[in-house]
Structure 1
Amino acid sequence: MITGMSQSTGTRGLNFLQKFMSDINVLVLGANGMLGKMVSLHLNSIKDINLSVTSRSKTEFIDKYFNENVFNFELTSEYRENLKKICSNDFDSVINCIGVIKPKIDEFDPHSVSETIKTNSYFPLELQNLCNELNIRYIQIGTDCVYSGDNGNYTEDSFKDPKDLYGKSKVAAEIEGLNKYLIRSSIIGPEKGKGFSLMNWFLNNEDHQVSGYKNHLWNGVTTLNFAKVAEGLIRNPEFEFKTQHLVPRNLISKANLLEQFKFTFDKEIDIKHIDAQQVIDRTLKTNFPETNKKLWKNAGYVEVPSIEENIEELFHSQFTNEIMN
């Protein structure tokens, strides 16, 4: 049956079938970060995905899980040439997990400012152009921090009004491109040690009481959610969006988010619900709810999950245990 189809459709049909039946070649840039670790572990567990990753240096994590198919890559003065060599290895999709996160930025340090702009702004644009040139599907995570948080319910076409360097640096990275799929959300996920994220700050907190803001609202996703959505996107070329907000079924306050961490991870920490001086609501909504549903469905979810369900899934994931221990 397949042979007959190949013969009737000619060379183009044969090439398509060979591509369809072959393994998928994927590159994850930045496999050592919070997002990169989860995305890499998940994709590496899929039999028909040939995964390659990049890392700035050899680490225990890289040595343990990716002793092969690892490219050394960091944003030095020669990174453009190195990036082109790496991306020329016949990849079908590239996922960029490289970025400078907000807690690591010092807006009063010129070097920190320069590195942030290079990493969060210029590099994704160069990667976007290269993937377009090589006809590689490029998946980039976006952030809710391109919005000030003054209004909430931001859609894909809402005006971007970030107030800090992190948000401003990410705006440039979100320029749309031909082969680019921007998935905008806010992420939480496991890290080794104390890390820099809200989740790990809470889980590793040695105090018996912490404060959580009840007037800071959130409706993001977990790193595991994003990894599974990325896999679904890699497998389904019919997606045609350029920018899509990935949103769960509900929203939650940051105080109640901590309560969910406490309940799910069984932590004995009292949480004091307080009002911050400034209300922040960076919650996202989407102009394309059917695409949002389809992304979740292709990721293996029967319906759009709740934040509570996502955290429960994250807790039970073997990858969370592998990252944190």
Structure 2
Amino acid sequence: MTATSGGRLRRVPTAAEQAEGWRAPGQDAGWLNPFLERFLLKLLVRKELRVRYRGSVLGMVWSYVKPAVQFMVFYLAMGVFLELNKGTPAYAVYLFSGIVVVNLFGEVFGNATRSITGNAALVSKIYMPNQLFPWASMLVALVHFLPQLLVLVIGALVNGWLPSPTAAVAFLLGMLILLVFTMGLGMLTAALNAAFRDVENFVDLIIMVATWLSPVLYRIDMVQRQIDGTIWWWLYQLNPLTIVVQLFHTAFWRYSSPVVDEIASGVPGSETLATPGEPFGLWWAGLLIAAVVFVLGTIVFERSKRRFAQEL
């Protein structure tokens, strides 16, 4: 036993208990909690999925319905009405490979931001490692991402895509950058949202803008023709979402058929993000930015978590 600053006695784990992973009440392993508390994390993921689809008739089918409707609207508006499908081979694959990226970004970012306030009863009444809440939000988003990924793979196969080492590396790099970057942002905004509820409204705006400020609906060479040579062009290229979308295009669209590969390589400006590091573009810059954001988000979250119960 040991005395605290208030004169109360607190039991300190013995050396044997510490070796077995025991910790004093109120203490945790910080950013390692999602890895050390896997059982609690699994329970939270199950709880989130059950709450989300409680009373729903379609249930997980919504994971297909929502992106399908979103794809059809964008394809009609951009592909048919604005005729982008005429200048972009396999435009359906190009479009959907970008949609799955922004959908995953939006769900992880939005859900992580609301993870603390949405679990106010648990945060304020019992002790749990608070880092588990945004991480559970990410895992729930990945559950919804898998059906969309399956549809993307099928669509790419129909258009002549064949799995390759290049596609696999581009996909894995894109996923790594996206999840690290988004979790960093999510932990940062989750901590801020516990004190200022306006944050979640700003996050909704960011998610909406991100769809249009990334080469999801249009080719990146269209952007280059408008702002090439300016600081905005460099900022656009260094946007982690731009890098991730381009990596997904490399994985599923660019090499989906010889025609796509030939035309893409001949489009002025299409090689910009592929220099250096062809064909993976500025992956190193995206990974560096993602790591910095993740560290920043983790630090802010760790310093803020002790006030969550009072703020909620």
The reply to whether TM is greater than 0.5 is: no
TM-score (norm. length: structure 1):
0.28
Structure number having the greater strand percentage: 1
* Bigger Rg over Cα: 2
Structure number having the greater helix percentage: 2
TM-score (norm. length: structure 2):
0.29
